[in-house]
């Protein structure tokens, strides 16, 4: 018998007291559940993506942050209202929320770009919402400011995977 086989046999013969086994069980069971949950998260991950129209005078930085934040907020609420209307998309919203409610904010180049991305999202049956500004700030009334899209990460990435993060 090799040294490794002897060590394995000795390890198999060790008897642990019940309290050690219970403690080990208490420590490992939550870990196993967490790892399983993480694996499910990767397999079933949904995300909400916001594409900000960068051609509008919203800019980036401290001065413009409140304006962009307000527009992204409109997009989030609008998309969530779309999601809860139908049972299929309502289930998607629940999964999204259950697995961390992932949100990503990206840069879109122009209004035409947002409209192209929306058309692609529609063709992939991805729920989406396009914010049309009311014109109460420096943005002209009727301007498309933010496109929001929801779906499985893999599908959403087909639409937005090459866009840059808003920073």
On whether both 126 and 151 belong to a single domain, the answer is: yes
On whether both 95 and 112 belong to a single domain, the answer is: yes
Residue 94 belongs to domain with CATH number: 3.40.1490.10
Q: pLDDT of 4-14, one tens digit each?
A: 666 656 555 55
Domain that holds residue 59: 45-160
Can you spell out the DSSP letters for 10-71? HHHH----HHHHHHHHHHHHHHHHHHHHHHHHHHS-EEEEEEEETTSTT-SSTTTHHHHHHH
pTM of the model: 0.72
On whether both 49 and 37 belong to a single domain, the answer is: no
On whether both 88 and 118 belong to a single domain, the answer is: yes
At residue 34, does pLDDT exceed 70? no
On whether both 60 and 108 belong to a single domain, the answer is: yes
Query: Predicted confidence band at 56 (pLDDT cuts at 50, 70, 90)?
Result: confident
At residue 112, does pLDDT exceed 60? yes
Distances (CA, A) of 31 to 21, 25, 38, 45: 15, 10, 10, 20
Residue 165 domain-assigned (yes or no):
no
On whether both 34 and 69 belong to a single domain, the answer is: no
């Amino acid at each position: 018998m090799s040294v490794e086989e002897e060590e394995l046999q000795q390890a198999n013969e060790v008897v642990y007291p019940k309290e050690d086994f219970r403690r080990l069980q208490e420590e490992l069971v939550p870990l196993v559940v967490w790892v399983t949950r993480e694996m499910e998260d990767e397999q079933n991950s949904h995300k909400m993506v916001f594409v900000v129209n960068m051609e509008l005078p919203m800019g980036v930085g401290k001065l413009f942050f409140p304006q962009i934040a307000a527009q992204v907020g409109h997009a989030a609420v609008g998309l969530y209202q779309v999601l809860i209307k139908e049972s299929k998309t309502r289930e998607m919203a629940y999964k999204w929320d259950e697995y961390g409610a992932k949100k990503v904010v990206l840069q879109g180049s122009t209004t035409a770009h947002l409209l192209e991305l929306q058309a692609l999202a529609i063709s992939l049956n991805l729920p989406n919402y396009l914010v049309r500004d009311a014109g109460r700030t420096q943005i002209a009334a009727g301007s498309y400011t933010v496109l929001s899209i929801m779906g499985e990460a893999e599908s959403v990435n087909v639409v937005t995977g090459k866009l840059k993060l808003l920073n």
